[in-house]
Amino acid sequence: MHDGDRKDYDGYAGNYFVRANANTRPLVLDRNKVPLTAQDGRIYSGCYVNAIINIWVQDNKWGKRINANLRGVQFVADGEAFSGGAPANADEFEAIETPASSDAEALGF
């Protein structure tokens, strides 16, 4: 849990916020529980969501703190989009031909 008064962003002052992340892609759903993909564009910085997070305590050689993992997000409503990094667009990549052998050595790894 972080103190919003220490952030220099609109809307944070007077509030607390939780930063949660995930090592794998969390479940992402629309209002009607249909899975969403990045191409759907429904989840973005500024939209309203329901989120499921796990909160856990850390007390080990790396320190003492409270952590949160993001498990799932459900789109609720559109909101005013705010700045943030946008994911890459598929058009920014070039197609890669499938090699005759699919092992990493054939790919040069």
24-54 per-position pLDDT tens digit: 999 999 999 999 998 888 888 888 999 999 9
The pair of three-digit structure tokens given for residue 34, joined into one six-digit string: 């249909």
Q: Are 99 and 105 in contact (CB under 8 A)?
A: no
Q: Are 106 and 98 in contact (CB under 8 A)?
A: no
Q: Give the 3-state secondary structure of residue 58.
A: strand
Q: Report pLDDT for 11.
A: 78
64-98 per-position pLDDT tens digit: 988 999 999 999 999 888 765 566 678 888 887 77
Q: Report pLDDT for 21.
A: 86
Q: Are 70 and 26 in contact (CB under 8 A)?
A: yes
Q: Report pLDDT for 45.
A: 83
Q: How far apart are CA 106 and CA 59, in angstroms?
A: 45
Q: Which domains does the chain have, with CATH numbers?
A: 20-80 (2.40.50.140)
Assess whether pLDDT exceeds 80 at residue 1: no
The amino acid sitting at 3 is: D
Q: What angle do CA 93, 94, 95 make, to 5 degrees?
A: 120
Write down the pTM of the prediction. 0.65
Q: Report pLDDT for 6.
A: 92
